[in-house]
Amino acid sequence: MELKRIDDEGLGHLVEAFYARVRADEELGPIFNDAISDWPEHLGKLTDFWSSVMLTTGRYKGQPVPAHMKHRSKITPELFERWLGLWAETTDALMEPAAARALQDKARRIAQSLQLAMFFRIDA
Ligand code: HEM
């Protein structure tokens, strides 16, 4: 299959394939399957998120930190590594190499800042 670029079509395809893997993963799957009832809506939101991040389209208007905070009791740094591992596998399989690398770098940076917000918050 032809490798994809970072455009609407490529990002939509990537998001769909990634969350199919996440849902099938024995550790990550239950967290997502419990939290998300409307999968088409979630996939649309995540495609907008990646479009905003990689193409600066401004389509995503949400707040990732509180969305993850809600699930903090179930999410660990190890799970973030697992998420990033699946992201690396999926982007390597589907995207052109430079696109895959850029998506992996960006995800790693976002995962770090999410973890700082989630696990290292100092309550004054
Ligand atoms: C939303 C889990 C890592 C981006 C969500 C939701 C869950 C979740 C359960 C739905 C929240 C809800 O509405 O109840 C996880 C887990 C992760 C992880 C278990 C790793 C262990 C990441 C990373 C990114 C990301 C690394 C970005 C690179 C998002 C975005 C949303 C979301 C943009 C939508 C937030 C909104 O509602 O606006 N995630 N996530 N997640 N996640 Fe993650």
pLDDT at 74: 96
Q: Residue 2: inside a domain, yes or no?
A: no
Res 123 pLDDT > 70: no
Task: Give how many domains the chain has, as a whole number.
Answer: 1
Q: How remote is the CA of residue 64 from the centroid of ligand 1, in Å? A: 6
Q: Residue 38: inside a domain, yes or no?
A: yes
pLDDT at 1: 77
Q: How remote is the CA of residue 67 from the centroid of ligand 1, in Å? A: 7
Res 13 pLDDT > 90: yes
pLDDT at 120: 84
The residue segments making up the domain with residue 66 are: 8-119
ipTM for the complex shown: 0.98
Dihedral over Cα of 39, 41, 43, 45: its sign: negative
Cβ < 6 Å from ligand 1: which residues?
Answer: 28, 31-32, 35-36, 45-46, 49, 62-64, 67-68, 70-71, 75, 79-80, 83, 107, 110-111, 114
What CATH number has the domain bearing residue 42?
1.10.490.10
Q: What is the pLDDT of residues 110-119, one digit of tens each?
A: 999 999 999 9
Q: What is the pLDDT of residues 51-78, one digit of tens each?
A: 999 999 999 999 999 999 999 999 999 9
Q: Residue 28: inside a domain, yes or no?
A: yes
pLDDT at 96: 98
Ligand 1 mutation target, pool 39, 68, 82, 90, most atoms within 8 A of CB: 68
**DSSP-H helix ranges across the chain:** 8-24, 28-35, 39-55, 64-69, 77-94, 97-119
CA distance 108 to 25: 19
Q: Which of 61, 66, 65, 49 is nearest to 111 (CA)?
A: 65
Nearest ligand 1 atom to the CA of 62 is: 38
